[in-house]
Amino acid sequence: YFISNLLPLVLIFIIYCIHMIMIIFVVKIIAHAEGSTMTEQPSFYVILCGGMDGDNTIGADQCKYSYTSENGDSETLIVQFLDRQLYPNGSVSGFWNSRNIIKEHPQLIILHNNWIKGLRGKIERAVSKGLWYYNRDKLICSYDLAPEFKFNWSVDVADG
């Protein structure tokens, strides 16, 4: 409910605020990730924070990314890290192992459904924890307190 009400505003803000520096760093992150055997996540840190040693970190939760164009114009971007207790990835603090994630961890704003293999695994985990809100039959999200949806895996999700 909260996110869906803000979504048009958020999208307008994102479109309005895109600068050349953002395009440049995304291209560099993609290029770095393509040459890496790791996930793309370390590439964000390497590019935005000045290498694996974090040469451009500011304190414990920010990095300073600077770019100078061919014509000499320079831009700086301050990157703020999200608090992992509020925006954890799929491997932080065992949140996905909780019996009732919503009740046990009310501070969570976003719980990333990563660090699990395949789309089917992600969907099964979200469904089993009561965090899957998309109703394929109605083609809409349902925000009931206990959503339950059945999947025809041969139609809904291709493994791969």
* pLDDT for position 90: 81
Span 87-98, average pLDDT: 86
Cα→Cα distances 79→21, 26, 61, 94, Å: 12, 13, 8, 26
7: pLDDT strictly greater than 70: no
Torsion of CA 109, 10, 61, 105, to 10 degrees: 0
Predicted structure pTM score: 0.60
- Average pLDDT over the chain, rounded to an integer: 79
* pLDDT for position 9: 45
Give tens-digit pLDDT for 14-29: 455 566 777 788 888 8
CB atoms within 10 A of CB 19: 10
Torsion of CA 11, 49, 88, 157, to 10 degrees: 60
* pLDDT for position 122: 86
Torsion of CA 55, 82, 87, 45, to 10 degrees: -20
